Amino acid sequence: MQLHAQSAEQFITWGDRALALNDAYGASRYYGEALKTQPGIMETQWKYAEACRLSNQYGEAALFYDKVAGKDRAGKHREAWHWLAEMQMASGHYDEAEKTWAKAKQKERHKNSMVAQRADNGIAGCRLAKTMMADPDSAVKIEHLPMPVNSFDSEFGGRTGPDSALYFTSLRGEVNAESEVKDTADYHARIYRTREIGGNWAAPSPLANEVNNGINNANSTWSTDGRWFYFSREDEPGNFSIRAVDLHNANDTGTVVLRVPGSTVTQPMVASYESSEMLFFASNMPGGLGGMDIWWGNIVGAQLLDKKPLGPAVNTPGNETGPYLDATDNTLYFSSDFLPGMGGYDLFKSSINNGEPGASINMGVPFNTPANDLYPAVNAKTMSGWFTSNRAGSFAEKGETCCNDLYRFSYPEDEAALARRRQLDTLPALPTGADTVALTDKEWKRITSLREKLPIRLYFHNDEPDPRSTATTTALDYAETYRSYAAQKPAYDSAWAATTAGTTAIDGFFTQQVDQGYAQLNDFIGLLKQALDEGQKITLQVRGYASPLAKSDYNKNLSLRRIGTLVHYFERTESGALLPYLKGTAVNGGRLTIVQSPFGNSTADASVSDRLDDLRNSVYSVGAAKERRVEIEQVR
């Protein structure tokens, strides 16, 4: 017995040493051996769970966090409940995770703590995940890049360079028969370049020594003119700085753009925003909301002139990473492990208007999985791009989710998409009624950005606004009806309390339809104002719908009132900034016209109940709720 105890202690010592060297997978193997020798020791179980979590062995980590949580009467490892919920989500066990999140929040002493906030988002994420899994984006094609681009090690941060080649970062090394790296001193992250030729990928080659200098270097980006190359370099363990190389100067060995002692600044991305060259990056430096946050600032060559974190619509107390701005429509793509998602890091997007980010929108399935999904790079013109994931199916020798791989996504181009691309390339005259107006590049991109936001669907509670009225106008605006509708959610939950599927569907509808519609409207208004401020004349086609509980003429008037709330919101938002355009009095000649098309219930879904004695289905069902809406469907 004494021999066994001594063996367990030795394995634990080796495990502690491996963890100190950031070898979480090796540590998990040592702790696992210790548990075989001495099973049931809570502290060893805790160390094993932590090592499994850090090496992405989600199921095994969940199993042992559960053991610790059940034993920990003294509360030594309160965070076991938090990490158990995270690992259950990362394993795709959302029903169990939702219950665990409730326990984690209950055990929190401070109800506004980071864990309590994450628990709320975790519960919302579990419900959202089930909704998104039931309605995946079937149009997008996801391609797992083959070897030799991906390997059994880790590849991440794919970007298309100015030369149309693929640049990415890889942590790869030559291994022996036991899958151990032969020369650990040479095992570090490098930036590689490769190219696809005729459907086949060339063997990746590392960049020159100015970039790959024998320590960890990662994350490629370029100035918009292609002259400056930016990347991140590890200056001390765990802390990176951002550097720049002037590609027009063969003797340039690199200049530090930003270094913050004691913090990391990494994952640079450069894009044009409002005629300025902006550097986006991730950092845990002081001044953010906590963890890694997304920052941005004006960049000129190797000089960062200012910097500030993005607002709380994007940044959270958790981690936000991998920023990528598509300048076509000023949409920021990024990853977060704190916002409601499917587990681990999820991919999100947010429109930046007037220097402020809009609501963060989860990109859904199949972009996101229970595992980590990171480093989005999106080209809206071609409807394609790259991202990184350790999802099941990635190349792995240390468990199916051990390592990151590169993925490519694309949408099939129909004739309409090809026509849009040709228009963007040639900038033709755009017909508006009997007139033909030649648009500038900036104006055409603005109109294209507006069209890409459509349709925008805005939802209402039954017989709102102004119930039991035959009026065709209302004094309310959409912000007021949206808040009133959101306050009605407990009644919807109560109507479906007896069925889990019903409450899940209602939760998904309010999150993905009602809340998202309002967020999309505000993002759209920001772009709309920019176009109007440029003097453009814009017509919006708005249609109204109603559920079939009342007569068609009543519903037509109701639809007009609902459209009226949108018109009033346009009039009142941003302190009346759009009012001169609606009245046609703007000094720059810009004008906003809204064409109203009330449809009543003539196009309502025939499957929706119209029985007054069946309110659960005629009022509180998702089907009925989807009919009570207005849509902004066209921009002309």
Domain count, the chain: 3
Tell me the two tokens of residue 559: 């639809």
Q: Grade residue 323 by pLDDT with cuts at 50, 70 and 90.
A: very high
Contacts 24+ apart (CB under 8 A), 194-203: 194/148, 194/149, 194/165, 194/166, 194/168, 195/164, 195/165, 195/166, 196/166, 201/145, 201/146, 201/148, 201/149, 203/148
Most confident of 184-188, 317-321, 524-528: 317-321
| Residue 158 and residue 27 share a domain | no
Please say if the pLDDT value at position 180 is more than 70: no
| 170 & 217 share domain | yes
Tell me, yes or no, whether 180 and 327 share the same domain.
yes
Q: Is 432 within a domain?
A: no
Q: What is the pLDDT of residues 122-159, one digit of tens each?
A: 999 999 999 999 989 989 999 999 999 999 889 999 99
| 298 and 240 within one domain | yes
Would you say residue 444 lies in a domain?
A: no
Q: What is the DSSP secondary structure assignment for residue 288, as one 8-state letter?
A: S
Residue 635 — pLDDT band, cuts 50, 70, 90? confident
Higher local confidence (pLDDT), 205 or 556: 205
Residues whose CB falls within 8 Å of the CB of residue 270, separated by 6 or more in sequence, listed in order: 221, 222, 223, 224, 228, 230, 277, 278, 279, 280, 299
537/593 same-domain check: yes
Given a cut of 60, whether residue 188 has pLDDT beyond it is yes
- pLDDT for residue 525 is more than 80: yes
Boundary of a domain, candidates 108, 134, 160: 134
- 81, 109, 134 — which closes off a domain? 134
Q: Answer yes or no: are the C-beta atoms of 622 and 612 closer than 8 Å.
A: no
- Residue in 343, 290, 337, 319 with CA at minimum distance from that of residue 100: 343
Q: How high is the pLDDT of residue 443?
A: 66
pLDDT value at position 190?
95
Percent of the chain with pLDDT over 90: 53
pLDDT tens digits along 363-420 = 999 999 999 999 999 998 888 999 999 999 888 777 778 899 999 999 986 544 444 4
pLDDT of residue 184: 47
The half-sphere exposure of 378 on its side-chain side, counting CA atoms within 13 A, is: 25
Could you tell me if residue 69 is inside a domain?
yes
| CA angle at 450 for the pair 449 and 454, rounded to the nearest 5° | 115
Instruction: Give percent of the chain with pLDDT exceeding 70.
Output: 87
In a domain, 441, yes or no: no
Distance separating alpha carbons of residues 329 and 54, to the nearest angstrom: 37
Instruction: Clarify whether residues 150 and 270 are in a common domain.
Output: yes
Task: Categorize the per-residue pLDDT at 319 as very low, low, confident or very high, splitting at 50, 70 and 90.
Answer: very high
CATH number of the structural domain spanning residue 300: 2.115.10.20
The reply to whether 430 falls in a domain is no
160 and 91 in a common domain: no
Query: pTM score, two decimals?
Result: 0.67
Question: Among candidates 345, 415, 349, 342, which has minimal Cα distance to 380?
Answer: 349
Which of 40-44, 527-531, 561-565 is most confident? 40-44
Q: What is the pLDDT of residue 205?
A: 93
Residue 426, in any domain of the structure = no
Give the residue with greater pLDDT, 270 vs 446.
270
- pLDDT at position 201 is 94
pLDDT surpasses 90 at 442 = no
Same domain, 247 and 315: yes
Of 232, 208, 229, 236, the C-alpha closest to 218 is 232
User: Looking at the predicted structure, is the pLDDT value of residue 182 above 60?
Assistant: no
| Domain finish residue from 93, 112, 134 | 134
Confidence of residue 547 (pLDDT cuts 50, 70, 90): low
On whether both 298 and 323 belong to a single domain, the answer is: yes
The stretch 213-233 carries a mean pLDDT of: 94
The pLDDT assigned to 492 comes to 85
**Distance in angstroms (rounded) separating the CA atoms of residues 615 and 452:** 36
DSSP state of 180: -
Sequence-ordered list of residues with C-beta below 8 angstroms from that of 322, at least 6 positions apart, any chain: 157, 267, 282, 333, 334, 335, 374, 375, 376, 388
| DSSP helix/strand/coil, 452 | helix
Q: What is the pLDDT of residue 617?
A: 60
> Above 50 in pLDDT, residue 432?
no
Residue 318 confidence (pLDDT) above 90: yes
Summarize the chain as % helix, strand, coil (round to 5): 35, 25, 40
* Model pLDDT, residue 619: 74
Residue 57 pLDDT exceeds 90: yes
**Domain assignment of residue 443, yes or no:** no
DSSP 512: I
Q: How confident is the model at residue 553 (pLDDT cuts 50, 70, 90)?
A: low
Q: Which residue has the higher pLDDT, 422 or 67?
A: 67
Q: Hey, which bits of 424-524 come out as E strands?
A: 429-432, 435-438, 456-459
Q: How far apart are CA 137 and CA 115, in angstroms?
A: 31
Residue 111, judged by CB atoms within 10 A of its CB (0-12, 13-18, 19+), counts as: exposed
CA distance 17 to 464: 64
Average pLDDT for 318-326: 97
**Contacts for 145 with CB less than 8 Å, ≥ 6 apart:** 155, 158, 201, 405, 406, 407, 408
Mean pLDDT, rounded, for 10-23: 92
401: tokens are 């989710």
Question: How is residue 10 written in tokens?
Answer: 């030795």
pLDDT greater at residue 150 or residue 429? 150
Q: 227 and 172 in contact (C-beta within 8 Å)?
A: no
Give the per-residue pLDDT at 602.
38
Q: 152 and 251 in one domain?
A: yes
Q: What range defines the domain where residue 231 resides?
A: 141-412
Helix (H) or strand (E) holding 615, with range, is helix 615-618
Has residue 100 been placed in a domain?
A: yes
CATH, residue 11: 1.25.40.10
What is the tens place of the pLDDT at every residue in 447-457?
777 877 888 99
DSSP states of 360-392 as a string?
Answer: -EE--TTT--SS-EEEEEEETTTTEEEEEE--T
According to DSSP, the β-strands at 205-206 and 217-222 are: unpaired
Band (583; pLDDT cuts 50, 70, 90): confident
**Whether residues 383 and 236 fall in one domain:** yes
Lookup: tokens for 489: 């959610």
- Same domain? For 168 and 117 the reply is no
Element (H or E) spanning 618, and its range?
helix 615-618
